Structure 1
């Protein structure tokens, strides 16, 4: 549909980022796929093991399955905080008359703060001795019995490492959803109000169908990023205590750089890529099926 000159211009602008994507993303994935069929410590000669790494990962590695289940729990908590919080704040912002820019800036700040700084911040918040913000707050409202070492308690550590990640990107997704809500035609909302529709009916029947494409894209971004989450959990607990907060990414990192088993670490990396692709497929299938219904 484009004239030849336009096609050439588009091609010229697309080639550099596509080459960068191929070198920075596709090439490492192919390298990991290649290494996953070998046993290699990074020094000695590689030994071909075929599907041996995959068979061991799926049938003989209990730590892998613990990390996989932890990753799913981590994903659920992050999505609830990020998407739920982003949608709530964005909806409230559309009704706010003053101070919108200040609120947006405050919510966006965590996304531009260093992950190391965020990890240190939440270490102080979760601290038991001396009492951090969370434990001190529980004491002030009469719930001192709930005080615990949040990062050392097996029952709370997974949620404790998930909250910082969820809090970090809520503002970013809020801005995306807020921009989509502003694009909803005002006349449709006014017509719904004249017909006696409630706030929820207006949102669910009018606003949400219009922002559904943006919602799908945002959900995919949040899901894939959470499945690849590494830095904050690693800095806070390094997967501990035990494997209570071990994620696939932290387990992969330790397998490669602590156990120096680069072949098996590459196998886990390939699984993470497949996991992300499956998650994207499920999101597209579920949300688009609801849209068609």
Structure 2
């Protein structure tokens, strides 16, 4: 058995554990990639946590970005997946269509939403607002400091909602139909069936999708970077975009490594909290 586990373990060490360890090592140094590295201990972390206002703003924005993504991806996916269980025809076709956004290239998604949000030429959102008499609400969505953060969050939520819909649908289809039919015969409403029969049965799948969506959300980078690059100002700056610019624009590899270590720690803490809460809730229901 150990022989079969060795290749994936080596791949994991080379692609995940080693880069994290290298980032942790570099975070204790000041280094621009050219001159000699200078050991500075915890100075990067001290600066990051106590003196860097951009880092604090990016940390808050990353949490907002995560919440928007979770609401769209998991909330939307659960509603759609539950509705699809009542569909008798065309379910497989819809399942394929829902997966399409997840396989589109990042650049294509960014260009699509640039056109949707555009003010000059007028984009889809502003055209719809004008058509229903709400033209006064039209604005350059990605250039407005009040809407840019949500604007870069929605595309990522839309992108993976279909993937989680397919995963949750697969879980819902394993719920014993005879149990649901017995509940209906006893007078249970569809809402009660959903919360008292389907959701408890779906808990392992729900935990997996929640962990996936949380870790992906905290590491979101490509679409926000392409749409606004953290702007205007720092109104849509995320920890990932700030880390990238610190490394490749400011060439401060030590400080950017400290930010990357913080992101990894943030993901681990978030996953730990999710697992603990759901496990405690599951034990309470037993």
Trace 1:100-249 onto structure 2 (pairs within 5 A).
100-249=91-240
CA distance in 1, matches of 2:114, 2:97: 21
- Is 1:253 paired with 2:232? no
1:274 aligns with 2:280: no
Structure-to-structure mapping, 1:3-82, within 5 angstroms: 10-82=1-73
TM-score, reference length from structure 2 = 0.98
> How many Å apart are 1:275 and its aligned residue?
0.1
Displacement of 1:99: 1.4
**Deviation string for 1:206-251 (max 9, x for gaps)?**
1110110110010000000000000000000000000000000000
Instruction: After TM superposition, give the deviation of residue 269 of structure 1 in Å.
Output: 0.2
Separation (CA, whole Å) in 2 of partners of 1:38 and 1:32: 10
CA apart distance, 1:13: 2.5
> What CA deviation, in whole Å up to 9, does each residue of 1:161-207 have, x standing for no partner?
00000000001011110000011111111111111111011011111
Structure 1: distance between partners of 2:186 and 2:131: 48
Distance in 1 of aligned mates of 2:203 and 2:181? 20
Cα offset, 1:105, TM superposition: 1.7
Measure the CA separation in 2 of the matches of 1:18 and 1:225: 22
Aligned length: 284
Shift of 1:141: 1.2
Q: Which blocks of at least 5 consecutive residues in structure 1 are unaligned?
A: 1-9
Give the distance between the partners of 1:167 and 1:15, measured in 2 at CA: 37
> 3-state SS of the aligned residue for 1:275?
helix
Per-residue deviation, 1:14:
1.9
Q: Distance in 1 between matches of 2:75 and 2:221?
A: 22
